[in-house]
Amino acid sequence: MDKNIYNKKKIDNLIISYSDNFGGAAKAALRINECLKNSNISSKMLVVKKITNFKNITNPIGLLAKLNFKIKNKILLVLKNIIKSDKDRSFNIFNSPILNEINYLMPKLVNINWIGAETISIKDISKIKSQILFTLHDMWSFCGSEHYVDANKEHSWKNGYKKKNSLLLNLDYYIWKMKVKYWKNFSVIAPSKWIYNLAKKSYLMRNKKIYYIPYPINTNLYCHEKKKNFYNKKVNLLFSAFGNVDNPRKGIQLLIRILDKLDPNSFNLNIIGFGADKYLKNKKYNINFYHLIKDEKKLIKIYNKSDICLITSLVDNYPLVLMEAQSCGLPCIGFDAGGIKESILNNKTGFVIKNFNINKYVKKINYLIANRHIIKKFSINSRRFAVLRWSYPIIAKKYNNLFKKII
């Protein structure tokens, strides 16, 4: 444990996350930390997988800690291969060295973010001596082991899990039962109204204090080019899936169906994420493939090379790509799924398509291709929307008000 990193100064807010920059939830946690720090709130991060070089972020660096996580991840891999689930899952059943670090630091508030990959166990969370605040990046905190379920068809998250004649379903039951047993006193932050409403209905969180605060974004960094040309011969479309495009939840198959209905001579495609080339390598339209981009300046350049952002997720909490794209002045098109509909101002910063209607989605893209002045108008609206809703000063004020209530 690097005990000198915090200079023994009392920490107001300690963010617990698996990583500081690996995946969308980690990036969101990093931005929350940065947003609070810029607002003179004492905020630090404690992670398992550290990627950035920021001094106020640390991880268990001892040999035993590294061995602990390595063994647990191997066990988890075996378990996941046995159950063969089509859903993203986290079990959080093993003890973690992170607990000792949290209690050594004794922050006023422990803000638990995405803690998959056995970052900290369900039981160990109950041993944290500080006040606890959960930030909901997905549905896992009020489900069994699942990160997302179909809330309209599956109701265990709302009514309570029952024992089943299935290893996988019983695993969900026992994990949910542990959460019921050990998670008693905590508050909750919901980054989207969608996840806020689900949490309010859930068995685990319906009686908890839940606060709606969107993710922040550095709108001074994510910004559009002042002399952008909206009238190029071809429109540049953007699709981005943090991490792996293979994740069925990201809707790559829907994207392919949409693109196949467009005139291949009317657009170029910029696509970010692992695995996209195997789906799109033989297509007639021009494609620029980008894999995992850690450098934000490079990422922003790709946004500024693009004209319209497409998102085809089947469900998502509050996609960072929509925030980043609109902060860079890109109109966005997405389905009415999860928190996506509240991340786009319909007919002002883009379009929200209901019922996964492919033909309407295609129609809206063609409309923008044929009306470049609308792209320009939506671009101005998108930038203004992002600054007014997600900029650091706006979100920091919300956190300040919350901390005054609960600390």
Other residues' Cβ atoms within 10 Å of the Cβ of residue 96: 23
Q: What local confidence, expressed as pLDDT, does residue 168 receive?
A: 66
Name residue, tokens 């905190």.
141
Q: What local confidence, expressed as pLDDT, does residue 63 receive?
A: 78
Give dist(CA 390, CA 403) in Å, integer: 18
Q: 3-class SS at 309?
A: strand
8 A C-beta contact, residue 17 and residue 26: yes
Signed CA dihedral, 387, 385, 41, 32: sign only: negative
Q: What local confidence, expressed as pLDDT, does residue 247 receive?
A: 84
Phi/psi at 112 (5° precision): -85, 120
Other residues' Cβ atoms within 10 Å of the Cβ of residue 64: 8
- Pick out the chain residues at pLDDT < 70: 1-9, 61, 84, 167-169, 243
| Crossing angle of the two packed helices 358-370 and 252-260, in degrees rounded to 10 | 60
Q: 3-class SS at 205?
A: coil
Which domains are delineated in the chain? 3-216+392-406 (3.40.50.2000), 235-390 (3.40.50.2000)
Give dist(CA 163, CA 8) in Å, integer: 47
Q: What local confidence, expressed as pLDDT, does residue 61 receive?
A: 66
Q: What pLDDT digit, counting tens, does each position of 58-99 carry?
A: 987 677 777 888 888 888 778 777 776 778 899 999 988 899
How far lies 5's CA from each of 55, 56, 111, 112, in Å?
Answer: 7, 7, 19, 20
Q: What local confidence, expressed as pLDDT, does residue 9 receive?
A: 62
The residues, ordered by sequence, that sit 6+ positions from 248 with a Cβ below 8 Å of its Cβ are 86, 314
Give dist(CA 176, CA 82) in Å, integer: 20
How far lies 117's CA from each of 80, 103, 181, 287, in Å?
Answer: 12, 21, 21, 34
Q: Round to the nearest angstrom and report the end-to-end CA distance of the chain.
A: 26
Q: What local confidence, expressed as pLDDT, does residue 209 receive?
A: 97
Q: What pLDDT digit, counting tens, does each position of 233-256 carry?
A: 899 999 998 767 888 899 999 999
Q: What local confidence, expressed as pLDDT, does residue 243 receive?
A: 67
8 A C-beta contact, residue 20 and residue 113: no
The sheet carrying 13-19 orders its strands as 57-58, 43-49, 13-19, 109-112, 131-135, 187-190, 210-212
8 A C-beta contact, residue 13 and residue 108: yes
Give dist(CA 252, CA 276) in Å, integer: 8
Strands (E), 93-214: 109-112, 131-135, 187-190, 210-212
